[in-house]
Amino acid sequence: MSGGRRRTRPSPARSANARVQAGKINRRRHLMPKCGAHAKTTGLPCQQPAMGNGRCYFHGGATPKGDGRWHRPIWPKMDTPEGIARFYKKGAELTDRNKKREREAKQRSPTQVAAYERWRATHAPTTAAHRAALREARRQAAQAIDVLKASSASPARSVDASAREAEIIDLRAQIRFWDREIEIAENWNTGVFA
């Protein structure tokens, strides 16, 4: 941490007001919803006051979620001197991080590079719409099997038994394929170097 800026003491009125507000929050604290995220420090649920999404700032507040927002820097507002300082600090930190990443990439062995490229080919970032389409394809294949099985129970629809059996086998293979695709789409951010 830099800590370069000299702190000025708040006025007595301001300190008193802060104490009143903190007291109000502390009296309600035990009634507030708690963050249930697994805390690495204790191994227990986090217990910090939760925000609207059910997680505290540390477990669900800082990282943007949603399609296209993942890993996009959120820049501090530059409307105060502190904001401008934070903006440039963040820029410097991101530059350092990228340089470190490049250095680490150069140090990888050919085997590690090959493993990484194999992983990357199947682990591109996916969108919610893409994952929903995969699940829908799987659902339709499963439904088709149910329809075929139901038709065997009804003598009116005399579908050839062996053709039906072949079709069910084919649909089951499709379901296995969709299951694998869904697994890949949902786990794209699990790294190989972890």
Contacting positions for Zn ion (CB under 5 A)? 35, 37, 46, 48, 56, 59
Q: CA dist 86 to 30, 59, 103, 126, 175, Å?
A: 33, 22, 26, 31, 50
Q: How far is the CB of 45 from Zn ion (least distance, A)?
A: 8
Tokens, residue 177: 């394929």
Burial-class residue 76 by CB neighbours within 10 Å (0-12, 13-18, 19+).
middle
Decide if 183 contacts 122 (C-beta within 8 A): no
From the CB of 144, what's the least distance to Zn ion, in Å?
A: 44
Which is closer to Zn ion, CB of 48 or CB of 152?
A: 48
Q: Shortest gap between Cβ of 53 and Zn ion (angstroms)?
A: 11
**Nearest CB to Zn ion, comparing residues 59 and 138:** 59
Q: Among residues 56 and 134, whose Cβ is nearest to Zn ion?
A: 56
Query: Closest distance between Zn ion and the C-beta of residue 94, in Å?
Result: 25
C-beta of 37 vs 115, nearer to Zn ion: 37
Closest by Cα among 116, 123, 135, 129 to 185: 123
**Closer of 46 and 134 to Zn ion (Cβ):** 46
The distance of closest approach from Cβ of residue 61 to Zn ion in the complex, given in angstroms and rounded to an integer, is 9
Query: DSSP class of residue 184?
Result: H
Q: Measure the CA–CA gap between 122 and 191, rounded to whole angstroms.
A: 12
Give the 3-state DSSP-derived string for 162-179, with helices as H, strands as E and coil as C. HHHHHHHHHHHHHHHHHH
